[in-house]
Amino acid sequence: MLIREKLEEKEKIFLSPYATLSANSKGRLIYEEECPIRTCFQRDRDRIIHSKAFRRLKHKTQVFLAPEGDHYRTRLTHTLEVSQIARTISRALFLNEDLTEAIALGHDLGHTPFGHMGEDVLDNLAKSYGLKGFSHAEQSLRVVDKIEKEGKGLNLTYEVRMGILQHTKGQVNLKQCYSQRIADTLEGEVVRFSDVIAYLNHDLDDALRAKVIREEDIPEKVKTVLGKTHRERINTMIQNLIYNSMNSPELKFDEKVLDAIEELRNFLYISLYTNPQVKSENEKVELLILRLFEYFYKNPHKIPYPFNKEDKIIGIIDYIAGMTDRYAIELFEEIYIPKPWRFF
């Protein structure tokens, strides 16, 4: 028996009846021979980690645009924190940890430079040209299906692909978000919950570090129910979710904790996400992306392979969405900022 087959048999014995078994995967878009050592979900995880899009996450904004200081989160550290939280939950619920990890590591591969501001600008641009809009979740799926490996894609399994696509919370209100199941697999649901647990806690931690928020500003309900420290709040959310979801095909927080989480989210929206100090560079970001778009619209031949294989607008959006913050800034400067002529 191959090592992979032994691992698949182990899953059948030890995992929850609600877990997704590697042996039962719906497969890949293009057929491939199975690996003798790794399960299909392990292979997907490895492909994502070795992708160019994954490496670029280290220079993409989470909340604070190009912050000065080494301890602020980037899109890569956010992804790693989501993965850690999701793996903890999956292991405790006896779900497929490899599938969970693959989805978590791939869920933000399509995120734009400059965080959600970049996403909003590309969304408006796409709609202005008759497209349905831009979503980083859909773009993440597009990255693994059509952009990575010089346009060949990573050829991931159906379960990982759908988990990446379905990781977003869907509704603005968290109670609405968690009143229904969205993902095809329970592992996908774990990543969806873990994404929120991660960003609420690390965004608050970064805001406290940046002194945008003070400890005494945090709502009393949040401190009483979830905890007074970063560690306590994460532990409360994770443990509450686990204990309320054991032996169940659904994930859920209890009502008291969910109320406190919603309170924290509303507090961050007012105090951080719409804070004038944090958003002070947004107009510059919008101008930068619009000008880059205009340049490549007039010069589509400047878009490198594989981004110019399809419709021109889609190709430009693909290219800009894949940029890191610093590459977008450097490219803007190269195109639009005049350089002094040097005589030798």
| Better pLDDT: 159 or 305 | 159
Residue 344 has pLDDT above 70, yes or no: no
pLDDT at 280: 78
pLDDT at 175: 67
**Would 340 be classed as within a structural domain?**
no
Q: Name the 3-class secondary structure at 28.
A: strand
pLDDT at 310: 75
What's the pTM?
0.95
As for how many domains the chain has, the answer is 1
- 289-314 CB burial, b ≥16 within 10 A, e <16: beebbeebeeeeeebeebbbeeeebb
Q: What are phi and psi of 226, to 5 degrees?
A: -90, -30
| 100-118 pLDDT tens trace | 999 999 999 999 999 989 9
Question: Residue 250 is part of a domain; what is its CATH number?
Answer: 1.10.3210.10
Instruction: Answer left, alpha or beta for residue 155, where phi above 0 means left and psi between -120 and 50 means alpha.
Output: left
Look up residue 200 and give its two tokens. 């609420």
pLDDT, averaged across the chain: 93
Residues 158, 48, 75, 321: what is their CA dihedral angle, to the nearest 10 degrees?
Answer: -70
**Would 341 be classed as within a structural domain?**
no
**Would 79 be classed as within a structural domain?**
yes
**Would 338 be classed as within a structural domain?**
no
Using pLDDT thresholds of 50, 70 and 90, give the confidence band for residue 67. low
Assess contact for 252 and 245: CB atoms under 8 A. yes
| Better pLDDT: 167 or 172 | 167
pLDDT at 177: 67
**Would 35 be classed as within a structural domain?**
yes
| 211-245 pLDDT tens trace | 999 999 999 999 999 999 999 999 999 999 999 99
Using pLDDT thresholds of 50, 70 and 90, give the confidence band for residue 72. confident
Residue 256: domain span: 3-332
**Would 173 be classed as within a structural domain?**
yes
The answer to whether the bond into 304 is cis (omega within 30° of 0) is: no
**Would 337 be classed as within a structural domain?**
no
pLDDT at 303: 93
pLDDT at 222: 98
- If we measure between CA atoms, which residue out of 166, 142, 145, 148 comes closest to residue 156? 145
Residue 140 has pLDDT above 80, yes or no: yes
- Lowest model confidence (mean pLDDT) among 23-27, 306-310, 314-318: 306-310
pLDDT at 168: 82
Residue 173 has pLDDT above 70, yes or no: no
- Lowest model confidence (mean pLDDT) among 52-56, 186-190, 201-205, 280-284: 280-284
Alpha-helical runs (H) found in the chain? 3-14, 40-49, 52-56, 75-92, 97-106, 115-128, 136-142, 158-165, 174-177, 186-209, 220-225, 230-245, 255-268, 282-298, 312-321, 325-336
Residue 3 has pLDDT above 90, yes or no: yes
| Better pLDDT: 341 or 29 | 29
